[in-house]
Amino acid sequence: MQTNESFSMPIPGPVDPVPVPRAITPRADGRTDLLGLSRAQIGELLAGAGLDAKQAKLRSKQLFHWIYHRGVTDFDAMTDIAKAQRPFLAERFIVGRPDVVEAQISSDGTRKWLLRSDDGQDYEMVFIPDADRGTLCVSSQVGCTLNCRFCHTGTMRLVRNLTPGEIVGQVMLARDALGEWPKGSMASSADEDDADDNAGHYTADGRLLTNIVMMGMGEPLYNFDNVRDALKVVMDGEGLSLSKRRITLSTSGVVPMMARAAEEIGVNLAVSLHAVTKEIRDEIVPLNRKYGIEELLQACADYPRANNARRITFEYVMLKDKNDSDEHAHELVRLIKQYKIPAKVNLIPFNPWPGAPYDTSTPERVRSFSNIIFEAGISAPVRTPRGRDIDAACGQLKTTAEKKSRAELDRLAEEKLAALG
């Protein structure tokens, strides 16, 4: 079933030439999309359009508020910006949203959106409602270069980094779809023109979208700058204002970027560990051959100290007869204790996809594995699969019409290797 050829594919590093579109690009009609831009970037664009420094600063602050706090896309609705100036803005800028190609709802309430970028690239986002929270699973790349063997996204051939606009755009779109923008206008004392909708009251409470996980398509630490810039916008107190405690970034273990993630982003970290021996992790998470388990665990031990995060979450996909024995569970406990990592373990039953080379562990196996970790005093909940019927569960995300079988993929991997000589 498993061929060695497919394991020895070249492993890309953070400097791999993944196409990255420029964050600020005028559209075909000459206007520039402000979605995803910071206050400073909006200010620079306004200055470039001819506003003096003071005006540019004031207007960028107002625009930032309208765009990210209020969800407004129409300059005409921005009541504290002088009426006479609104056409000036509308001629030069737009506040866009990703195009929605398809929206699906699972029988369990999970929602999945297939989105399309301006250059025709498809990516997905998933919203998972729970009793006490609503989590948006955000993509960082179209596809993924890392080829973890259990992950459907890793089988996509096309890869490109998403821009901050495309990343923040997912959160904006979810707020649109959930109807979660504050109603009514801001305090009218700040208005330069008469506000015509002073009726509503803004309340930040009772929102459906409470948490964000960077666990959609792609490896967020391979698109570090854009993910950081996007999350900074999402966390900004004058905009979407999501607390860093409610955001989790999941990495397959890009060790050299983890310290920077702690310093420059500061959100919770989840690490896709998935195996406790070199042999097995090399096989299922090929990046392990570049950054091994010891190195990864040391980086995990350093992460919370660097930014006061509460705990690292270790994700562990349960693959039948591969990584799910009691011995593996004991070894996992030993490693966490050896490195003194404040950790919890998230056990993920493998979500199957056509042609996947693994099976899901039995519920008894998952329970036994979980119990061993619990008994050692480490929390080890089992993640309930959500949205499997619409291919929205972890590792099932994959766009493009071309779904390939594992045999085809192995053949393609061999071709790739042959071409490399």
For position 324 contacting ligand SAH by CB under 6 A, the verdict is: no
Q: Confirm or reject binding of residue 291 to ligand SAH (CB under 6 A).
A: no
- Shortest CA distance to 145 belongs to which of 268, 32, 16? 16
Find the shortest distance in angstroms from Cβ 47 to ligand SAH: 37
**Residue 261 contact among ligand SF4, ligand SAH, none, beta carbon within 5 to 8 Å by kind:** none
d(CA 193, CA 342): 53
Contact 109, 132 (CB under 8 A): no
Residue from the set 81, 142, 151, 329 that interacts with ligand SF4 by CB under 6 A: 151
Are the C-beta atoms of residues 264 and 234 closer than 8 Å to each other? no
Closer to ligand SAH by CB, 78 or 409: give it.
409
What is the phi-psi region of residue 387: left when phi exceeds 0, alpha when psi lies from -120 to 50, beta otherwise? left
Whose tokens are 């061993």? That residue is: 372
Query: Is 148 in the active site?
Result: no
E-state strands within 177-220: 211-214
Classify strands 160-161 and 32-33 as parallel, antiparallel or unpaired.
unpaired
What is the closest distance, in whole angstroms, from the C-beta atom of residue 261 to ligand SF4 in the complex? 15
Q: How would DSSP label each residue in 15-71?
A: TS------SS-B-TTS-EE-TT--HHHHHHHHHHTT--HHHHHHHHHHHHIIIIIS-
Whose structure tokens read 């004392």?
A: 189
Window contacting ligand SAH (CB under 6 A); options: 4-12, 50-58, 181-189, 344-352: 344-352
Task: Determine contact, residues 36/97, Cβ cutoff 8 Å.
Answer: no
We find the least distance from the C-beta atom of residue 9 to ligand SF4, in angstroms, to be 12
Residues 24/92, Cβ–Cβ less than 8 Å: no
Percent helix, strand and coil across the chain, each to the nearest 5: 40, 15, 45
Q: Which of residues 263-282 bind ligand SAH (CB under 6 A)?
A: 272
Least separation in angstroms between CB 141 and ligand SF4:
8
For the chain, the farthest-separated pair of C-alpha atoms sits apart, in whole angstroms, at 71
Among 317, 336, 380, 390, binds ligand SAH (CB under 6 A): 317
Of residues 127 through 166, those in contact with ligand SAH by CB under 6 A are 144, 148, 150-151
* Active-site position among 137, 148, 300, 394: 394
Partner in contact with 348, chosen from ligand SF4, ligand SAH, none, beta carbon below 5 to 8 Å by kind? ligand SAH
Stretch that binds ligand SF4, among 80-88, 144-152, 338-346, 352-360 (CB under 6 A): 144-152
- Out of 5, 124, 402, 414, which one is annotated catalytic? 124
Residue 300 annotated among the catalytic residues of the structure:
no
**Binding-site ranges for ligand SF4 (CB under 6 A):** 144, 146-148, 151, 153-154, 218-219, 252, 272
Active site residues: 124, 394
